[in-house]
A and B are shown apart, each in its own frame.
Chain A
Amino acid sequence: MAFDWQPVWLTLKLAGVTTLLLLIIGTPIAWWLAHTRTWYKQAVAAVVALPLVLPPTVLGFYLLIMLAPDGPVGRLTQTLGLGTLPFTFEGLVFASMLYSLPFVVQPLQNAFEALGPRPVEVAATLRASPWDRFMTVVIPLARPGFLTAAVLSFAHTVGEFGVVLMIGGNIPGETRVLSVAIYDLVETLEYGQAHLLAAGMLAFSFLVLMSVYLVNGRLTRSHQP
């Protein structure tokens, strides 16, 4: 039997899309959390962190109910002409984003807080507008945070299983990602194929984390005053 690359590509696509969207959405959330002083800041922070402690099945279960044709989000997506999300690639992206949100928000929030107000103030006194300050000072100085966020989000999405199974099922080419494929292979006792995928995943995860630590170590050192 030829090696089936489809789950690998699908997984990489899912992780890539999720990470990209999460960086766009997570950055303002992290910025807000790093700077706000409202009383409900901690509540928002707790909600963001929920996926860290909840079993993925719990998250997947509620998502399934919400996204179902008669669920609140499901009705909305139907009204907007988007159809329903469960058991589609888009649904998987949505679920993965929720699931990996803390892995993006927390490193970014830490990076923004570590930056402190000073560099931004200096840039303001040097005529830089808020957007200009963000692009030319905050992003370059928080680069280790962005890198960590991107890598963790990517890796975490690659490794998810419970949520995918609940919300995506097992549709080849649409929702059948690596982790699900491995599960399937094991169920059908195809250990050879399972080994190949599982070992590949192990090596991939190790390399990813290793490179994060290496790059972060180098970046933080070079930015020490």
Chain B
Amino acid sequence: MSEIEVRLQSQLGDFELNVDFTAPAQGVTALFGRSGSGKTSVLRAVAGLVRTPQGLVRINDEVWQDEKRFVPTHRRPLGYVFQEASLFPHLSVQRNLEYGMSRVPEQERQIPYHDVVELLGLSELQRRAANSLSGGERQRVAIARALLTSPRLLLMDEPLSALDHGAKQIILPYLESLHDEFAIPSLYVSHDPNEVARLADRMVLMDNGKAIAQGDAANLLTRLDLPLASYDDAASLLVGTVSSHDHTYHLTWVSMHGGRVAIPREDLPVGRRARVQVQARDVSLSIRAHSDTSIINILPARVIDTQDISQTQVLVRLELEDGQTLLSRITRRSAMGMGIREGIPIYAQVKSVALLS
């Protein structure tokens, strides 16, 4: 039973929270939705910071809440990273880091202090006062502070949303490396599709207090029946392996079964798994495989379904030869002209690809 099970029901004024989802107890599961959709409420209930009248919270075989039991927050082995870093202003960075760790019995501490400090780049900051740090530094301390309690579940409530773009870009790689280094299952609340694409393996889609869909992040991001695909920056997530480097033109090739795409040269070992993101608006379609085009990423695919998203544009959902899905946004006029319909084979021309991890 290596899984996280959450069932919650509560009525708060006009707002009804009613969610039911299960996530594997590994990797990152994103709780995704617009603000006010109830994501944070779910996270707070999982942490025991609020008590829903009815609910079940179970991590593997440990029940934190059911009809009979309610384990108070401080007895739940979890780590919580709040939207604002919320460091204790009366303590130094080091004392902040030690606050949770010192309250965990020594034999239960799995994560060495120095590993965390090094991973999050905090060695220089330890002696500083908590309120002398920048926003990004604080959030890194808050993440480290939560990790140092050796949690069995890491809860993160939009940890990047209070940061400016630059600080975000600095912290994202840290968050990605957490995943590889410590293998702590996490629930990650976010309303940013790019963040989800970059960090999450699975996602639970929230709308108006309900979990309306759950599953593989790459799959959910491209489902036409869900609101995500109609976002202006709708994008697909593809997974492949680094196959070769092109030194002449400064490219790195990522191969998938049935095709390959090029990204600007990255210093990655050949054979490494790579996650790439493709914006729907950067994918055009062609009936035949052209070689006389400036686009070098051409992937054979099949049309799964289509949906009009405005009077002029249509979203086409494609399946690649290895079963991964790709979204393309083209004009309705082109779709009509080309006779795009379910089942036809087609070539996807991808103008640009971004490496996520």
Instruction: List residues of A whose CB falls within 8 A of some B CB.
Output: 118-119, 121-130, 132-133, 136-137, 140-141, 223-225
Chain B residues numbered 51-104 whose CB sits less than 8 Å from any CB in chain A: 72-75, 78-80, 82, 84, 86, 88-90, 99-100, 103-104
Given A125-B47, A125-B146, A225-B131, the answer on whether A119 and B88 have CB atoms closer than 8 Å is: yes
Give 26 CB contacts A-B under 8 Å: A118-B84, A118-B86, A119-B88, A121-B49, A121-B73, A122-B80, A122-B86, A123-B88, A123-B99, A125-B49, A125-B73, A125-B78, A125-B100, A126-B74, A126-B149, A127-B75, A128-B99, A128-B103, A130-B74, A137-B88, A141-B88, A141-B89, A141-B90, A223-B90, A223-B131, A225-B131
Q: Which residues of B contact A140 (CB under 8 A)?
A: 90
Q: How far is the CB of B44 from chain A (nearest CB, A)?
A: 9
**Are A128 and B74 in contact (CB-based, < 8 A)?**
yes
Given A122-B80, A122-B82, the answer on whether A127 and B90 have CB atoms closer than 8 Å is: no
Task: State the CA gap A149–B217 with chains docked (Å).
Answer: 54
**Are B103 and A127 in contact (CB-based, < 8 A)?**
yes
B145 on the interface (CB 8 Å rule)? yes
Q: By CB atoms of chain B within 10 A, which of A127, A129, A224 has the most? A: A127
The contact string, 1 if C-beta is below 8 Å from chain A, for chain B 138-150, is 0000000110010
**Are B149 and A127 in contact (CB-based, < 8 A)?**
yes
Q: Which residues of A contact B88 (CB under 8 A)?
A: 119, 122-123, 137, 141
Q: Which residues of A contact B82 (CB under 8 A)?
A: 118, 121-122
Can you list the 5 inter-chain pairs with the closest CB atoms, starting with the nearest?
A126-B100, A125-B80, A127-B103, A124-B73, A140-B90
Q: Which residues of A contact B103 (CB under 8 A)?
A: 126-128, 132
Q: Which residues of A contact B47 (CB under 8 A)?
A: 125
Of B48, B49, B89, B104, the residue contacting A127 (CB under 8 A) is B104
Q: Which residues of B contact A223 (CB under 8 A)?
A: 89-90, 131
Task: State the CA gap A122–B47 with chains docked (Å).
Answer: 11
Q: Which residues of B contact A141 (CB under 8 A)?
A: 88-90
Q: By CB atoms of chain A within 10 A, which of B82, B84, B86 has the most? A: B86
Task: State the CA gap A125–B73 with chains docked (Å).
Answer: 6
Q: How far is the CB of B157 from chain A (nearest CB, A)?
A: 11
Task: State the CA gap A140–B47 with chains docked (Å).
Answer: 25
Task: State the CA gap A149–B89 with chains docked (Å).
Answer: 22
Given A118-B82, A137-B88, A140-B90, the answer on whether A124 and B100 have CB atoms closer than 8 Å is: no
Q: How far is the CB of A164 from chain B (nearest CB, A)?
A: 39
Q: Which residues of B contact A122 (CB under 8 A)?
A: 80, 82, 86, 88
Task: State the CA gap A133–B103 with chains docked (Å).
Answer: 12
Smallest CB-CB separation from B101: which chain A residue?
A126
The contact string, 1 if C-beta is below 8 Å from chain A, for chain B 143-167, is 0011001000001000000000000
Given A118-B82, A122-B82, A124-B49, the answer on whether A129 and B90 have CB atoms closer than 8 Å is: no
Q: By CB atoms of chain B within 10 A, which of A118, A126, A128 has the most? A: A126
Q: Which residues of A contact B155 (CB under 8 A)?
A: 125
Given A125-B78, A126-B100, A129-B74, the answer on whether A224 and B131 have CB atoms closer than 8 Å is: yes
Q: How far is the CB of B204 from chain A (nearest CB, A)?
A: 21
Q: How far is the CB of B334 from chain A (nearest CB, A)?
A: 52
Task: State the CA gap A122–B88 with chains docked (Å).
Answer: 9
Q: By CB atoms of chain B within 10 A, which of A124, A125, A129, A132 has the most? A: A125
**Are A127 and B80 in contact (CB-based, < 8 A)?**
no
Task: State the CA gap A118–B49 with chains docked (Å).
Answer: 10
Of B49, B99, B131, the residue contacting A126 (CB under 8 A) is B99
Q: How far is the CB of B43 from chain A (nearest CB, A)?
A: 11
**Are B74 and A124 in contact (CB-based, < 8 A)?**
yes
Task: State the CA gap A136–B79 with chains docked (Å).
Answer: 19
Q: How far is the CB of A112 from chain B (nearest CB, A)?
A: 15
The contact string, 1 if C-beta is below 8 Å from chain A, for chain B 21-61, is 00000000000000000000000000111000000000000
Task: State the CA gap A137–B96 with chains docked (Å).
Answer: 11
Given A126-B99, A223-B131, the answer on whether A119 and B86 have CB atoms closer than 8 Å is: yes
**Are B73 and A225 in contact (CB-based, < 8 A)?**
no
Smallest CB-CB separation from B131: which chain A residue?
A225
Task: State the CA gap A114–B179 with chains docked (Å).
Answer: 37
Q: Which residues of B contact A121 (CB under 8 A)?
A: 49, 73, 82
Task: State the CA gap A148–B75 with chains docked (Å).
Answer: 35
Smallest CB-CB separation from B80: which chain A residue?
A125
Task: State the CA gap A56–B78 with chains docked (Å).
Answer: 54
Q: How far is the CB of B131 from chain A (nearest CB, A)?
A: 5
Task: State the CA gap A129–B71 with chains docked (Å).
Answer: 12
Task: State the CA gap A141–B88 with chains docked (Å).
Answer: 9
Q: Which residues of A contact B79 (CB under 8 A)?
A: 125
Smallest CB-CB separation from B104: which chain A residue?
A127
Q: How far is the CB of A2 from chain B (nearest CB, A)?
A: 49
Task: State the CA gap A125–B71 with chains docked (Å).
Answer: 12
